[in-house]
Amino acid sequence: MKKVFLIALVAFVYAGCGGGKDGASCTVVENTDGTYSVVCDDGTSVTFSDGTDGTKALVKTSEEPPGDNCPNGGIKIESGIDDGDGNFVGDPEVTYVCDGESGQDGQDGQDGAKALVKTSEEPPGENCPNGGIKIEAGIDDGDGNFVGEPEVTYVCDGESGEDGVSMLMITEELEEGDPDCPTGGIVVHTGADTNGNGVLDEDEITSTNYLCNGEDGEDLLLAGILEGSYTIRNNMDIHFLSSITEITGDLIVNGTGITSLSLPVLEYVGGDLSITSNNYLINIDISALTSVWRLSIFSNASLTTIDLPALDSVGSSSTIQNNAALTTIELPALDSVGSSLTIGGAGAGNPSLTTIELPSLTSVGSLSISYNYALTTIELPALESVGGNLSIRDNTVLCNSIAIAIRDQLIAAGWTGSSTISGNDNDC
pLDDT tens digits for range 126-175: 888 888 888 877 777 778 788 888 878 777 776 654 455 666 777 788 88
Q: What is the mean pLDDT of the segment spanning 236-262?
A: 89
**pLDDT tens, 239-251?**
878 888 999 999 9
- On whether both 200 and 84 belong to a single domain, the answer is yes
What pLDDT score does 197 carry? 85
- The answer, yes or no, to whether residue 219 has pLDDT greater than 90, is no
What pLDDT score does 102 carry? 61
Is there a domain that residue 292 lies in?
Answer: no
Number of domains in the chain: 3
The CA distances from residue 367 to 193, 258, 340, 341, in Å, are 77, 31, 6, 5
- On whether both 135 and 85 belong to a single domain, the answer is yes
What pLDDT score does 376 carry? 97
Is there a domain that residue 30 lies in?
Answer: no
* 230-238 contact pairs (CB < 8 A, 24+): 232/258, 232/261, 234/142, 234/143, 234/258, 236/141, 236/142, 238/262, 238/263
Is there a domain that residue 39 lies in?
Answer: no
The kind and range of the H/E element at 3 are helix 2-11
C-alpha to C-alpha distance for 263 and 290, rounded to whole angstroms? 13
- On whether both 169 and 68 belong to a single domain, the answer is yes
What pLDDT score does 131 carry? 82
**pLDDT tens, 84-135?**
788 878 888 777 777 777 655 545 545 556 777 787 888 888 888 888 888 8
Is there a domain that residue 142 lies in?
Answer: yes
* Nearest Cα residue to 421 out of 397, 399, 402, 393: 393
- On whether both 241 and 376 belong to a single domain, the answer is no
- On whether both 145 and 242 belong to a single domain, the answer is no
Is there a domain that residue 296 lies in?
Answer: no
What pLDDT score does 9 carry? 42
**Least confident segment among 160-174, 276-290, 330-344:** 160-174
Is there a domain that residue 5 lies in?
Answer: no
- On whether both 368 and 253 belong to a single domain, the answer is no
- The answer, yes or no, to whether residue 75 has pLDDT greater than 90, is no
What pLDDT score does 220 carry? 44
- On whether both 65 and 131 belong to a single domain, the answer is yes
Which one of 153, 186, 212 terminates a domain? 212
**Least confident segment among 23-37, 182-196, 261-275:** 23-37
Q: What is the mean pLDDT of the segment spanning 64-73?
A: 86
Which one of 212, 228, 250 terminates a domain? 212
Q: What is the value of pTM for the model shown?
A: 0.51
What pLDDT score does 22 carry? 47
* Nearest Cα residue to 356 out of 345, 342, 339: 342
Which one of 187, 212, 237 terminates a domain? 212
The kind and range of the H/E element at 235 are helix 235-240
- On whether both 84 and 198 belong to a single domain, the answer is yes
- On whether both 105 and 161 belong to a single domain, the answer is yes
- On whether both 346 and 227 belong to a single domain, the answer is no
Q: Write out the residue range of the structural domain in which residue 118 sits.
A: 53-212
Is there a domain that residue 40 lies in?
Answer: no
Look at the chain and count its residues. Answer: 428
C-alpha to C-alpha distance for 419 and 422, rounded to whole angstroms? 10
Query: pLDDT class for 364, splitting at 50, 70, 90?
Result: very high
**pLDDT tens, 2-17?**
443 444 444 434 433 3
- On whether both 188 and 101 belong to a single domain, the answer is yes
Beta strands in 65-131 (DSSP E): 74-82, 93-98, 114-122
- On whether both 197 and 103 belong to a single domain, the answer is yes
**pLDDT tens, 368-397?**
999 999 999 999 999 999 999 999 999 999
Q: Which of 137-141, 177-181, 212-216, 223-227 has the highest mean pLDDT?
A: 177-181
Is there a domain that residue 144 lies in?
Answer: yes
Strand-pairing partners, residue 419, are 390
